[in-house]
């Protein structure tokens, strides 16, 4: 049995080499030619799976070690009897922590207060539901928008996009739907961008095309009055560097790139492959030790500043922003390669639940908030 595996799937050697002849390739180098005699294909998000990739091959099982599936032509797989599995939810805490790192940095740096602010969360799936939880922990009034869930549950908890556009913070966590009643391509288009009030924080950690990047660029060039955090971009990896220069914090589609998030993806597709092959799972992921697991906070301070102080010691969003901006001086031909290189060589980032916070002062409310964010507190 021949298995083609994206070389960027963590711990893939340990997980899959026991199943047969495993060939590791860069995700962008997986082609129809090298799939001709393959039985199984295991990928991440940069490999477009469609008729062009699969026609004439004998591939019968495909899995993506990612939560998003907009790179998969599911209809083609169904029509051709190809079994498919994804890793839904694998990196949901990672993205929620990226959101938390973003807002704590912005609120601390600008001396804003969490109190009294409204947070609009668009898309209440595995990621969005955790962002809602974290947002409430921070003290935001949280509004939710998710038309498919609203139709399914007839819930009064959901609000219109117009209500969302009036929030102090808008964060997007929807899948990419290119057509239909729930189309999300350019969900935030020029018309909706013009409705967003000055000073709003706009975060996109879903898919680049959910926001009309050109319309946003024009808004920011004309009136640079939004605070923007963008992890995803239209036409990745060939992002618009003119837009990047107007963004407050940018990164290379790594919001879900915690070590746990990536390894969770490996484990999920491994278990699905075992089920497909009717084999008992034997492999379990291993996690490297963390050198500094305890973070000491010596004095009481504003929650916005305290959170930023803690999170920066775990994950400094400014480091990712600095790296993506270094691509500005690279020639156009090599910028896409640089984008991919940053993703491939991304440093190990561990999730909040691995860390213990030692508070050298007594504050039960701060302790409760930190624990709700999954920190251990002593």
Indicate which residue of 105, 186, 219, 253 is catalytic: 253
DSSP labels, 322-362: HHHHGGGGS-HHHHHHHHHHHHHTPPP---GGG-EEEESS-
Contacts of 99 (CB under 8 A, 6+ apart): 131, 134, 135, 171, 203, 205, 255
Burial of 108 (0-12, 13-18, 19+ CB in 10 A): buried
**β-strands 201-204, 2-6 pairing:** unpaired
Q: CA 223, 224, 227: angle at the middle one, nearest 5? A: 140
Q: Of 97, 236, 267, 304, which is the active-site residue?
A: 236
**Of the listed 207, 219, 343, 349, which one is catalytic?**
207
The answer to whether residue 236 is catalytic is yes
The DSSP letter of residue 41 is E
Q: Which residue has the tokens 């955090």?
A: 229
Tell me if residue 44 is catalytic. no
CA 91 vs. chain centroid, Å, equals 7
State how far the Cα of 183 lies from the Cα of 176, in Å rounded to an integer: 7
Q: Are 170 and 187 in contact (CB under 8 A)?
A: no
The verdict on whether 173 is a catalytic residue reads no
CB atoms inside a 10 Å sphere around CB 43:
25
Known catalytic residues are 207, 236, 253
């Amino acid at each position: 049995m021949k298995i083609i595996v994206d070389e960027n799937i963590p711990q893939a050697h340990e997980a899959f080499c026991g199943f047969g002849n495993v060939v590791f390739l860069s995700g962008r180098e997986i082609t129809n030619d090298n799939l001709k005699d393959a039985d199984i294909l295991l990928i991440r998000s940069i490999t477009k799976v469609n008729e062009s990739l699969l026609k004439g091959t004998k591939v019968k099982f495909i899995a993506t070690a990612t939560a998003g599936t907009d790179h998969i032509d599911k209809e083609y797989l169904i029509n051709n009897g190809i079994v498919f599995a994804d890793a839904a939810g694998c990196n949901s805490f990672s993205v929620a922590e990226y959101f938390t790192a973003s807002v704590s940095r912005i609120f601390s740096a600008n001396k804003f207060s969490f109190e009294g602010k409204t947070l609009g969360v668009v898309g209440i799936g595995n990621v969005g539901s955790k962002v809602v939880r974290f947002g409430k922990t921070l003290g935001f009034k949280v509004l939710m928008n998710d038309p498919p869930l609203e139709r399914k549950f007839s819930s009064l908890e959901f609000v219109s996009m117009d209500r969302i556009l009036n929030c102090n913070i808008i964060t997007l966590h929807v899948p990419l739907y290119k057509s239909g009643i729930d189309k999300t391509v350019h969900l935030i288009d020029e018309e909706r961008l013009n409705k967003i009030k000055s000073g709003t924080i706009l975060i996109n950690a879903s898919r680049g095309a959910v926001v009309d990047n050109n319309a946003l660029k024009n808004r920011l060039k004309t009136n640079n009055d939004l605070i923007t955090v963008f992890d995803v971009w239209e036409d990745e990896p060939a992002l618009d560097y003119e837009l990047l220069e107007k963004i407050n914090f940018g990164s290379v589609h790594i919001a879900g790139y915690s070590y746990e998030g990536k390894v969770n993806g490996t484990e999920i597709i491994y278990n699905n492959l075992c089920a497909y092959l009717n084999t008992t799972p034997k492999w379990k992921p291993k996690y490297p030790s963390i050198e500094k697991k305890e973070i000491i906070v010596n004095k009481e301070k504003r929650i916005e500043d305290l959170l930023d102080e803690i999170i920066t010691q775990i994950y400094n969003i400014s480091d990712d922003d600095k790296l993506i901006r270094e691509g500005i001086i690279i020639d156009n031909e090599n910028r896409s390669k640089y984008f991919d290189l940053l993703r491939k060589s991304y440093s190990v980032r561990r999730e909040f639940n691995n860390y213990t916070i030692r508070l050298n002062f007594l504050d039960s409310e701060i302790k409760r908030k930190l624990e709700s964010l999954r920190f251990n507190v002593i």
